[in-house]
Amino acid sequence: MRKFTGGQSKVTVESGTTLRDLMDNLEKRYPGIRDMVVHEELVREEIAVFVDGENIHQGLFQPVLENSEVHFLPMLAGG
């Protein structure tokens, strides 16, 4: 995702109220980035999203508060 943010791994944007708002705001600032996370209006299966340290599963409907920290990580499994 760094190639969309000019190499930065940490950025600050307006949160809006849900993850969808956040993604829209990210896309305004860094065009192309939304597609890395979202496919056909769903969070991609292979991406895990952490909001304030917790792995969330409401997808784009996940509430995001002001000053929340959001991490995008590869989804991992086990054996």
Partner 1 sequence: MTSTADRPAKYKVVGTSPIRPDGMDKVTGRAIFGDDIRVPGVIYGKVLRSPHAHAKIKRIDVSAALKVPGVRAVATHGDFPPIPAAMVAKGDAAYMSLRDLRNNALASDKVLYKGHSVAAIAADNPHVAEEALSKIVVEYEVLKPVMDAPSGLKADAPVIHEKLNTISFGAALEKSHPNALHIEMKIGDIEQGFKMADVIVEREFNTRTIHQGYIEPQSCTVDVAPDGSMTVWSTTQGAFAYRDQLSRILQIPQHKIKVIPTEIGGGFGGKEVAYIEPAAAVLSRKAGRPVRIAMSRADVLQATGPACGSYMKVKMGATKDGRMVAAQAYLAFEAGAYPGAPVVGATGLIFGRYTIPHQSIDGYDVIVNKPKTQPYRAPGATQAHFSAETVVDELAEKIGMDPVEFRMINVVKEGDRNVQGVPYPKIGAVEVLSAIRNHPHYKAPLGGPNRGRGIALGLWRNGGGMSTCIITVNSDGTVTMVTGSPDLSGTRTSIGMQAAETLGIPFEDVKPIVGDTESIPYTMGSWGSSTTFGRGYAAHEAAVEVNKKMAARAAQIWGTSADNVQFKEGVYSHKSDPNLKFTFKQLAEKLNATGGPIQGSVVIDPTKGVGLAFAACIVDVEVDTETGKIQTPRVTVIQDVGVAIHHDIVVGQMQGGTVQALGWALNEEYWFDSEGRMANSSLLDYRMPTALDVPMIDTMIVEVPNPGHPYGVRGVGENSIVAPPAAVANAVYKAIGVRMTDLPLSPGSVLNALWKKQGKK
Nearer to partner 1, 15 or 62 (CB): 62
Interaction between residue 45 and partner 1 (CB under 8 A): yes
Per CB under 8 A, 12 contacts partner 1 = no
The pair phi, psi for residue 65, each rounded to 5°, is -95, 165
- The alpha carbon torsion through 28, 32, 37, 41 (nearest 10 deg) reads 70
Asked if 71 touches partner 1 (CB under 8 A), the answer is yes
Q: Which residues bind partner 1 (CB under 8 A)?
A: 1, 9-10, 36-37, 44-47, 50, 53-57, 69, 71-79
